[in-house]
Every structure is written in structure tokens, then in C-alpha cells.
């Protein structure tokens, strides 16, 4: 008998397309676990920043060494990275980490380290994973693949509302749009829409609507798979 195959929902997309919050909500709705691969890249970056070395001298080996202090631990319906045994949510979302993370994420050994951690977390759980390459490099056989996009201005506006807790002015949105588009360019190599991913443009959707669409897609695919395997079972000789 083969081990039961766990469901993997892969949500990819560019910076601030709402992947993590959507993935977390979808995971809650389906009673799956959420794994945020971006948080692991951010944690490796934060661990390296903490070492206080001049950034021009950072090497791949040093960053991999710093990443050894990072552990992915279950927390509610998610997994969270801890650095040296402590949670560092605010540090991970902070400007300094955001400024350096693309450079760290371009290091092949760091990518291999993140991918191993994410696959480990998915081994014993049904999961919703989010990032840039979950549906391509990490889980090419994911049960459902979604690629989230949104207009850059709207992505910048949402990110600022989340960070500032108020409506941002147009000048602030313009500045954030510039930063996001630059990060998209730096992350372009690994931000890949799988050929079999379902594209959802969230520019004019509420978060609730996008969550509902993904939950409906997952239910449709998993119920179809259940029916198919029941038919397969029936057709086996007794
Ligand atoms: O939430 P946001 O879109 O700002 O970014 P994130 O998901 O927290 O990811 C932070 C950074 O990690 C990205 O800018 C990428 O450089 C990198 N990343 C990646 O290369 N591959 C992934 N699967 C996830 C994140």
C-alpha cells in the first residue's frame, strides 16, 4: 500500500500580491497548514544581518551558516521561522531585511536550504505553501497551483495600508510602487507562473473573494480526485 499523498496548494506571485495572507486564510478554511517560503528567505537574511558584517562582504557560505540558526516551527495553523529560538515577525517584515532579501534569495544554496525546509513541513501535513517558485521548482506536482497578480499601484497601496494602518497618500504609494517594481525585477528569475497554474488577478477582488475562489478550486480538484480513485477502485478485479 502506498502512503497517502498529502494535498499541496501552491500559491505564487510577485511582491505584495497578497500571497501570504491569502495562503494563511485558505489554510485556516481547509484545516491545512500554511508554509510561507518568503519568511524563510527573510529569516536567513535577518540571521545574516544580525552577524553585523559589512554587506559588501557577504558570501553564500556565511549566509548558509547564519541560516543554521533558523528553525521552522509549527505555530497555530502555520509554521514560523525562529532565529536562535526566538520569533522575529517584525524584524522579518522590516525595511532592512526587505532591502537585502532578494540578494540572499539569489544564492543557490540558500534556495536549496529553503526548499528542503518547505518540503519537510509538507511531508506530514496537507499544506498551503506560498512564494515565487512553489508550483514550479519545489512542488511541480502540487494538487492545485495558483498564480496571484495585481496592478503594482494597488499592491503598493495594500502593502502600505498593512504597514501604516491608514490610507496612504498618492506620493507614498508612488514611492512604494517604485520599490516593489524594483524588487519584482530582482526576483524575476525565480518568479515563474507554472504552465498549469490558475492565474487570479486580484486588483478588483476583495481578499475574501480571492480566498473563496481558491478554496472552491481546491475542493473541486480534491473531490474530483476522490471520485476518480473510487471509480478506479471499483474497476479493479476482486
Ligand atoms: O510578501 P512579499 O511578496 O513582500 O515577499 P516575501 O514572500 O516575503 O518574499 C521575500 C523575498 O524572498 C522575495 O522578494 C524574494 O526575493 C524571495 N523569495 C524567493 O526568492 N522565492 C520564494 N519562493 C519566496 C520568496
pLDDT digits 0-9 by tens, 32-77: 999 999 999 999 999 999 999 988 889 999 999 999 999 999 998 9
Among 79-93, 110-124, 204-218, 222-236, which is the least confidently predicted range? Answer: 222-236
Instruction: Tell me the pLDDT of the chain averaged across its residues.
Output: 92
pLDDT at 50: 95
235 CA distance to ligand 1 middle (Å): 45
Other CB atoms within a 10 A radius of the CB of residue 225 amount to: 13
Q: How remote is the CA of residue 138 from the centroid of ligand 1, in Å?
A: 14
Cβ burial, residue 138 (10 Å; 0-12/13-18/19+): buried
Give the sign of the dihedral formed by CA 85, CA 79, CA 138, CA 23.
negative
- Give the number of the atom of ligand 1 that is nearest the alpha carbon of residue 183: 14
User: What is the distance, to the nearest Å, from the Cα of residue 84 to the centroid of all Cα atoms in its chain?
Assistant: 22
By the 8 A CB rule, do 70 and 81 touch?
A: yes
Whether residue 163 has pLDDT greater than 50: yes
How far is 154 from 151, CA to CA, in rounded Å?
5
Q: Which atom of ligand 1 is nearest to the CA of 92?
A: 8
Least confident of 71-80, 152-161, 196-205, 221-230: 221-230
In this structure, which residue's CA is closest to atom 1 in ligand 1? 16
Give residue 191 CA to ligand 1 midpoint distance, Å. 9
For the entire predicted model, the pTM comes to 0.91
**Percent residues over pLDDT 70 in the chain:** 94
41 CA to middle of ligand 1, Å? 7
Pocket test for ligand 1, best of 132, 162, 193 (most atoms within 8 A of CB): 132
Q: Please, where are the H alpha helices in 141-206?
A: 152-164, 170-186
Amino acid at each position: 500500500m502506498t502512503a497517502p499523498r498529502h494535498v499541496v496548494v501552491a500559491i505564487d506571485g510577485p511582491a505584495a500580491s497578497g500571497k501570504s495572507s491569502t495562503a494563511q486564510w485558505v489554510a485556516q478554511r481547509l484545516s491545512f497548514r500554511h508554509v510561507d517560503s518568503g519568511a524563510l528567505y527573510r529569516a536567513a537574511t535577518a540571521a545574516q544581518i544580525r552577524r553585523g558584517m559589512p554587506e559588501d562582504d557577504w558570501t553564500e557560505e556565511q549566509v548558509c551558516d547564519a541560516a543554521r540558526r533558523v528553525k521552522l516551527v509549527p505555530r497555530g495553523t502555520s509554521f514560523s521561522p525562529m532565529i536562535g529560538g526566538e520569533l522575529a515577525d517584525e524584524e522579518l517584515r522590516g525595511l532592512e531585511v526587505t532591502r537585502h532579501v532578494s540578494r540572499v534569495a539569489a544564492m543557490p544554496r540558500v534556495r536549496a536550504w529553503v526548499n528542503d525546509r518547505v518540503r519537510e513541513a509538507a511531508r506530514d501535513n496537507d499544506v498551503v505553501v506560498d512564494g515565487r517558485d512553489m508550483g514550479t521548482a519545489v512542488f511541480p506536482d502540487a494538487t492545485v497551483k495558483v498564480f496571484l497578480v495585481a496592478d503594482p499601484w494597488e499592491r503598493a497601496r495594500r502593502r502600505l495600508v498593512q504597514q501604516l494602518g491608514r490610507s496612504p497618500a498618492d506620493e507614498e504609494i508612488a514611492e512604494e510602487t517604485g520599490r516593489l517594481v524594483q524588487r519584482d525585477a530582482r526576483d524575476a528569475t525565480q518568479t515563474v507562473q507554472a504552465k498549469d497554474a490558475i492565474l487570479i488577478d486580484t486588483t478588483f477582488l476583495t481578499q475574501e473573494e480571492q480566498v473563496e475562489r481558491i478554496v472552491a478550486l481546491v475542493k473541486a480538484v480534491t473531490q474530483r480526485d476522490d471520485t476518480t480513485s473510487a471509480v478506479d477502485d471499483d474497476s479493479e478485479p476482486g
